[in-house]
Structure 1
Amino acid sequence: MNTIEQFKDQQYINLESFRKNGTGVKTPVWFAQDGNTLRVWTQADAGKTKRIRRDGKVRIVPSTASGEPTGEWMDVRAVVLDAPAEIDRTKNLFRKKYGTMFNIISFFGKVRRSSYITIKIEL
């Protein structure tokens, strides 16, 4: 089942981005589906953000919160979006999916004055 269907009703994906030397770095993250794409909301200065800006080749799999795969890995492309409208769209999708937990995390991000971006994953 190497399709978007495997992500339905999942809370986490394991997102593997790649260092310059080709070494994969796996990170379990929250995500929201937006049509045939997945969106991730993350800090602008996160390692995965830097790696994806450099090279959009990533792998994803539905996973547990600890990153244990629960489906099949997919090779996909990702792009970093930092336009305010894109970030707002992602935040709205996350509010619908994760509710109060997302609002709490978002609040603490504001307190820390963190800057956030969207990672858009094309399936």
Structure 2
Amino acid sequence: MRDLAAAQYVLLTTFRKDGTPVDTPLWVAPDGDAAVVWTPRESWKVRRIRHTPRVTVAECDVRGNVRGDSVSAHAELLDDAGSDHVRTLVARKYGILGRLTLFGSRVRRGRTGTIGIRITGEPAA
């Protein structure tokens, strides 16, 4: 996950109940051996992850055009403290643009209106 976390954007693919994949390009930041992303708490991707934490991730550009191989992974929705940590990592990686985006989101949604997602390699069966 470290290589993916170093990318500017990743394409996070979540899966609907019927198995249909849904792609979303997101900012990503490294967190140890994991990658973390940040998104609105009420987004459909969060609902899909609640249903099934199985995801795939790949490096992409801002429009979601894939630039590398897709990797199977496991997504974990974080609590408020974990989400705060993700916001700090995003601000650190993306600099002034990251801080401005986080500020705008906080104004619109409040501190708990977004959630951090920790992405790790597929767990052993």
For the pair 1:93 / 2:82, whether they are aligned, the reply is no
Which has the larger share of helix?
2
- Normalised TM-score (structure 1): 0.90
How far apart are 1:103 and its partner, in Å? 1.3
Name 2:8's counterpart in structure 1: 11
Determine the C-alpha separation between the residues in 2 that align with 1:72 and 1:22: 20
SS at match of 1:99: helix
Q: Cα RMSD (Å) of the superposition?
A: 1.3
CA drift of 1:9 comes to 3.6
Report how far residue 84 of structure 1 moved.
Answer: 2.1
Offset at 1:87?
1.1
Q: For residue 101 of structure 2, what is the aligned residue in structure 1?
A: 105
* Deviation for aligned residue 1:48: 0.6
Query: Is 1:71 equivalent to 2:68 in the alignment?
Result: yes
- The gaps in structure 2 that reach 5 residues or longer are none
Q: What corresponds to 2:116 in structure 1?
A: 118
**Cα deviation, residue 38, structure 1:** 0.6
Q: 1:55 aligns with which of 52, 55, 66?
A: 52
Residues 41 and 8 of structure 1: is their aligned pair in 2 closer, same or farther, counting only changes over 3 Å? closer
- 2:26 aligns to what SS in structure 1? strand
CA deviation profile, 1:14-60 (whole Å, cap 9, x unmatched): 00000011100000000111111110111000111110011000000
Q: For residue 25 of structure 1, give the secondary structure of its aligned residue in structure 2.
A: strand
Q: CA deviation at 1:110?
A: 2.0
- Output the CA distance in 2 between the equivalents of 1:30 and 1:9: 10
The letter for the 2-side match of 1:103 is R
* Unaligned residue ranges in structure 1 (runs of 5+): none
TM-score under structure 2 normalisation? 0.89
Deviation at 1:98, TM superposition (A): 0.3
- Paired with 1:54 and 1:37, the residues of 2 have a C-alpha distance of 21
